[in-house]
Structure 1
């Protein structure tokens, strides 16, 4: 696999952040662990940019269809494209409150969760302090990346 092929295949594992895949080229060993280490050793600014690269749940980019394909599949799989008007209104209120409090979108690995699960987590995490929520967002991003990697073939040398 060439560098260009690797980046094409794995560059979107971390949302709109191909620098993560670039950091682990050439791949060797546990790709998930290497990508996680690249993020964990990144600067605060890089981590914040990574968090901010994620779309809001049931937010404006989802409505406009402007999300990455993986995010569309993930949100659709959790039923976020089928919100009732009341649920949609709750998501909009919570997105606004969360962004105002923390300065980045709420992030949760939605795979296996219902809309009610996601809304409950949203409400609970609004009470977190900013550092806890920053760390939680990164941990959720690692979970999302793990799910995305599991759907991709192992890179070939």
Structure 2
């Protein structure tokens, strides 16, 4: 998508296109639409991520709660967003064996109980073994550190999704 196209979209089209850059948070795209024009991918990222950074902790945790559990019930029910489906599939999470699925479900439940939000990881950078290892490792982190880490993962996911939308080179992110 070229610079002109993203800056000339009407409100509804902009929210339709960019509404899931941050998982199930079209409000962010709606708010950012008013701040155009955007010069490039970096400018869009800056605006989206500044919104997240400016939120109080409760709002940031709310953004994390919009994310599905990796290999969780939404995957099994087929209710993931198209973006999450592609990302989890790329990490091999759609083809787990019963034991792997059970282990991940247990770790996801422990993580939610400990932190109050789902485990968020840019799955495109992982495989299924790495997901389980990282989840187990991050379960041991202090809460404030984990909040920062999880929000960093949201930004990685958002960067990749913006790059996909703009057909940019993710290696330049």
Give the alignment's TM-score, normalised by structure 1.
0.93
Does residue 62 of structure 1 match 2:75?
yes
- For 1:138-149, list aligned pairs within 5 A: 138-149=151-162
Match of 1:87 among 80, 92, 100: 100
Q: Distance in 2 between matches of 1:70 and 1:101?
A: 27
Deviation at 1:136, TM superposition (A): 0.8
RMSD between superposed Cα atoms in Å: 1.2
Question: Secondary structure, in 3 states, of the residue corresponding to 1:111?
Answer: helix
1:15 maps to which residue? Answer: 23
Match of 1:36 among 49, 73, 88: 49
5+ long unaligned stretches in structure 2: 1-8, 168-173
Q: Distance in 2 between matches of 1:153 and 1:147?
A: 10
Does residue 6 of structure 1 match 2:19?
no
Are 1:11 and 1:17, in contact at CA under 8 Å, matched by a contact in 2? yes
Are 1:55 and 1:61, in contact at CA under 8 Å, matched by a contact in 2? yes
2:4 maps to which residue? Answer: none
Q: Distance in 2 between matches of 1:45 and 1:22?
A: 20
Q: Distance in 2 between matches of 1:112 and 1:140?
A: 10
Runs of 4+ in 1 over 2 A off after TM superposition: 26-29
- For 1:145-156, list aligned pairs within 5 A: 145-153=158-166
Give the alignment's TM-score, normalised by structure 2.
0.85
